[in-house]
Every structure is written in C-alpha cells, then in structure tokens.
C-alpha cells in the first residue's frame, strides 16, 4: 500500500508522513525533495508555481510510486496534490493509492508557516495554494488542530476500522 499525505504547505505533511512511516515501518518519501531546482528557486523568490511548473515534479512522483509498487513495497509519500488532476496523474502509477488529506484553516497554517524558517516555501505563497485547492472528496480527511501524535493515531485507527479506497473518479 502507498499512502499519500496531502494538503497545503504548512499543514504538517512531512511531520505526519514521517511519523506514519516510522509507526508502520514503511519507507518515507518527502515529495518536496523531488521538485526540480527551478521550482525551488521560483518558490524562494515568492512566485507561485503553475501547472506547467508542477508537471515535471508530479511525473517524478508518479515514477517513484510506480517504482515502489514494482518492488511490492509499502510507503508513505508527501505531496500537496492540490488539484484533482494532480491526484489523478499520481493514481495512474497505482490505482490503489490511498490519500490522507490534512485539512486546516488558512490562519492556523499561516501562523505555522510564519514560525518555520527551515523551508523554502514562504508564507506569502499560502494564499495561492488555497486558491487552487480542490479538496479530495473520498480520502481520509483529518483536521490538523490536534497534536501530531494524535493525528497519526487517528489515521491508524481509521485505517484499522475502515480501510479507505478511493476510486479515481472520486478523489
């Protein structure tokens, strides 16, 4: 199984994804590590990415998913996957992808971004992410107001009680 932890920048994808992978003893892949240098520089310069900018990144993640699947491994991947078309593209590599959407209010996430200094994504770009966000309709949706360990526990309990499958037309 491959879990894709999604949401806007600052919602906690990396923290939650790493904790999930550690708990499950699965491989962890940080989606931001797959951005081409041009994308990173563009974001550092406070310029939002467009679909054309994101395509090479999404194709790299699609290849990663296919590689993980071909090795018959389980993994946790972080990826904003803000639009349905982005999720559809990733699903082309594995129709059984499971999406976990970390949902939060703009103000809370903006506060988190303003306190973060170790990432190239500036808080000023958050509004551009919310503008294009198409929330998944059939994913595990988790509010981010709890502590990370509580969020992880909630996710694991949800999967234990009700395995999530997301047909491509509904994500």
Classify the C-alpha dihedral 137-102-68-165 as positive or negative: negative
Range of the domain at 86: 24-170
Q: Output the average pLDDT for the chain.
A: 88
In which region does residue 60 sit, left (phi positive, over 0), alpha (psi from -120 to 50) or beta (all else)?
alpha
Model confidence pTM above 0.85? yes
Residue 3, classed as helix, strand or coil, is: strand
Q: What is the pLDDT of residue 168?
A: 40
Give residue-wise pLDDT tens across range 10-25: 899 999 999 999 999 9
Q: Measured between alpha carbons, how far is 138 from 65 in angstroms, rounded to an integer?
A: 20
Establish if 12 belongs to a structural domain: no
Task: Indicate the SS3 state at residue 41.
Answer: helix
What's the CATH number where 102 sits?
A: 3.40.50.300
DSSP 34: G
pLDDT, tens only, 138-170: 899 999 999 999 999 999 999 887 655 443 433
How many domains is the chain partitioned into structurally?
A: 1
Residue 13 lies in a domain: no
In a domain, 56, yes or no: yes
* Residues 6 and 80 sit within 8 Å (Cβ to Cβ): yes
Instruction: For residue 171, give the nearest of 130, 143, 142, 134 by alpha carbon.
Output: 134
Distance CA 35, CA 31 (A): 7
> Would you say residue 15 lies in a domain?
no
Rounded distance, CA 64 to CA 115, Å? 31
Q: Which residues pair with residue 4 across a beta bridge? A: 77, 99
Q: What is the pLDDT of residue 167?
A: 39
Q: Write the pLDDT tens digit of every residue in 89-117.
A: 999 999 989 999 999 999 999 888 887 66
For residue 3, being part of any structural domain is answered with no
β-partners of residue 98 are 3
CA atoms within 13 A on the CB side of 140: 23
């Amino acid at each position: 199984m491959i879990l894709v932890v999604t949401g806007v920048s600052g919602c906690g994808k990396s923290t939650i994804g790493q904790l999930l992978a550690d708990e499950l003893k699965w491989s962890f892949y940080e989606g931001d590590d797959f951005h081409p240098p041009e994308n990173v520089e563009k974001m550092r310069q406070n310029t939002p990415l467009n679909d054309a900018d994101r395509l090479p990144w999404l194709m790299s993640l699609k290849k990663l998913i296919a590689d993980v699947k071909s090795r018959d491994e389980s993994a946790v991947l972080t990826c904003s996957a803000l639009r349905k078309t982005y999720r559809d593209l990733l699903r082309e590599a594995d129709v059984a992808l499971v999406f976990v959407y970390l949902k939060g209010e703009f103000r809370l996430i903006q506060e988190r971004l303003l306190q973060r200094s170790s990432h190239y994504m500036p808080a000023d770009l958050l509004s551009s992410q919310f503008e294009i966000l198409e929330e998944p309709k059939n994913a595990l949706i988790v509010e981010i107001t709890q502590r990370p360990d509580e969020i992880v526990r909630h996710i694991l309990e949800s999967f234990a009680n009700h395995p999530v499958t997301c047909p491509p037309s509904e994500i």
